[in-house]
Amino acid sequence: MKAQHPQSGFTLIELIVVLIIIGVLAVSLLPRFFTAAGTSEYVYRDQALSLLRQVQMQAMQCTFCSAPSVTISSDSLVASGLSCASDSSLVLCPAARDNIRFSSTSASIGFDNMGRPLGCVGACQLTIEGSAPLLLCIETEGYIHPC
């Protein structure tokens, strides 16, 4: 007599359940890999934070120079007045496909030699508007942070 080996493998029900789970995951997660919606404003917020901190550090290091500043328009941030020749003008311009806009409580933000913001009454706020608005705060003492 032949010994019967138990059949190994998946049942049809198990295969269908796995396919349904894969389908649900594909429908919900796949669009995140093809668009930057919802993430690009975080990238621009980090770049704007870096630009503001660089201008602030330059203002604190070069106490005999004119105060560098960041000019804010709806489609760009432009740093000017920096003392190093290689950093004479830094610009942050979002790509048109990202649909990012900037707005601020002040059209231009400069820093004194202690790192405190100039051109703002009290604390300054920079808004990065995309899928969701994100804020950067510059406190009166000069601390720049996402808020």
Q: Is 38 left (phi over 0), alpha (psi -120 to 50) or beta?
A: left
Amino acid 89: pLDDT: 61
Model pTM above 0.75: no
**What does the pLDDT look like over 94-140, one tens digit per residue?**
888 788 888 887 888 888 888 888 877 778 888 888 888 888 988 98
Range of the domain at 108: 40-146
Amino acid 13: pLDDT: 93
Report the distance separating Cα 137 and Cα 147, nearest Å: 6
For residue 56, give both structure tokens: 């602030």
**116 assigned to some structural domain:** yes
**13 assigned to some structural domain:** no
Tell me, what CATH number does 99's domain have? Answer: 3.55.40
**66 assigned to some structural domain:** yes
The DSSP element (H or E) to which 125 belongs, if any, is strand 124-129
The DSSP element (H or E) to which 145 belongs, if any, is strand 144-146
**28 assigned to some structural domain:** no
Count structural domains, the chain. Answer: 1
Averaged confidence pLDDT in the chain: 82
1-5 own/partner pairs: CB under 8 Å, 24+ apart? none
* DSSP one-letter code for 112: -
Report the distance separating Cα 119 and Cα 145, nearest Å: 18
Q: Is 92 left (phi over 0), alpha (psi -120 to 50) or beta?
A: beta
Q: Which residues contact 4 (CB under 8 A, 6 or more apart)?
A: none
Give the position of tokens 């930057």.
36
**17 assigned to some structural domain:** no
Q: How many helices (H) and strands (E) does the chain have?
A: 2, 9
Q: Are 87 and 61 in contact (CB under 8 A)?
A: no
Report the distance separating Cα 26 and Cα 19, nearest Å: 10
